[in-house]
A and B are shown apart, each in its own frame.
Chain A
Amino acid sequence: MGAQLRVYKRRIRSVTATKKITKAMEMIAASRVVKAQRKVRASTPYATELTRAVTAVGTGSNTKHPLTTEAETPTRSAVLLLTSDRGLAGAFNSNAIKAAEQLTARLQAEGKEVDTYIVGRRGLAHYNFRERKVAESWSGFTDEPSYADAKKVAGPLIEAIETETAEGGVDEIHIVYTEFVSMMTQTAIDSRLLPLSLEEVAEEAPKGEILPLYDFEPSAEDVLDALLPRYVESRIYNALLQSAASKHAATRRAMKSATDNAGDLITTLSRLANAARQAEITQEISEIVGGSAALADATAGSDR
């Protein structure tokens, strides 16, 4: 076998192996998307009921709560960025990071200090590499977040907003995550988590429903006290789940195009290998023909 042909054969073998791996990863990601979507759906009843309850308390009583009142001049905000632990997901992480950076720039332009909180090793690595300050970070659960994980993330954030700004607390919390629109579309979005504007919550609740006058047990303040942190946790949980679903969808797409590219590469390489083999054969034939002609000439010459 010629040297050229051997090189092609080797490359085809290695690309075939890569294709097998990316194909497997694509399948795994596809099954995980479905699982993650199911989890998003399973968490919906709780979120809906909670939204209803928050709306009910918010509209049914005139209670003021630190989590719903806006500071007159917000001076410090927290940004919670949700990324994944692992890469191989196309532009998934860089999109989320970009969205977070745009938000940070916007907040800084408004004269606010920004504390960054990060979920996922990828985002953390990005910030650490640039030696930016990270207030707190979590990782290890981004593929399959549980409610306990959401609680773990929400805890310090709620604590930060309840602390006075002068003592290192924050006035508002923003969250940046990747929204799962469909299998093909995932968009990195940012939204303000706190302070909660009850009008917005009310808009989210089903329309045309007249909320009854609730009897609060033990009191409206206590209910709100207990309700709002749960609401924040549930929002973060939902964001974590959507981010996980988006990550798997992005991985699936990235791996699908990797598989397709590997397929194309194999086709091209096989053509080149075939051409090389053909060239080799042609060369061998012409060598044989040329050799035998020379031999014939030589014998013909000696006969004479």
Chain B
Amino acid sequence: MNYTVDSPKETKKEKLLNYSTQFNKEVVLDVKNLSIFYGNKEAVKRANMGIEKNAVTALIGPSGCGKSTFIRSINRMNDLIPSSRAEGEIIYDGINILRSDVNVVALRAEIGMVFQKPNPFPKSIYNNITHALKYNGQKNKQALDQIVEESLRKAALWDEVKDRLHQSALSLSGGQQQRLCIARTLAMEPRILLLDEPASALDPVSNAKIEELILQLKEDYSIVIVTHNMSQASRVSDKTAFFFNGDVVEYDDTKKIFTNPSETKTEEYISGRFG
């Protein structure tokens, strides 16, 4: 990693202590006063959120509420949109990753992202996983084989594809493609997984498989998931943030949000009165 560390670890810990009453676990991403603009439009307004390590954090809210913008700012995918601009801080490993001198390429390898629509490369299953590994200099065939198998196992796809690793990834079903995309991301050994509505384009069976997978992956990774599916959020997540019009209206334990939210807006949304 070629991050320039601007604050020693101690100060980070101190900062975290301020939140310690609020969180039960270690915080892996600390979002502070994050505002994201598209041109003059403020898509996320001064969001504050501590994202826990080895937990699933769900972001819910109606379309256009800023949750996708929020998740895409965590691995700087918003950089692709020329008019976008971020203010505030996202502290990861003691560094504000919104700083312009952060190595975005290295950051994205640590904070992996899976998108709404399964987007495997039009290559073989095997090459979908090795694509990024080879770029990072891993040329050893045996090592590659091993990483491919491990990541496919982690993504619960190995048994289904082990006999056809060299067939095109496009021959897989939508659900399998999405798990391949997860495997491809896991192969980079990220610490955080960002899932932007990973199951919304899939059938119920594939959907259930992805959910099961998320619960397994939680052991090793910190996961942030955007979802439109209320019951999915309540099933898989430990923490839930409710977004509305760019504001984080409420952020709390999932159980609390779904049984006894403090904000009326949250309650209205969860009970399906709008959105």
Q: Are A and B associated in one complex? A: no
Q: List chain A positions with a Cβ less than 8 A from chain B.
A: none
Q: List chain B positions with a Cβ less than 8 A from chain A.
A: none
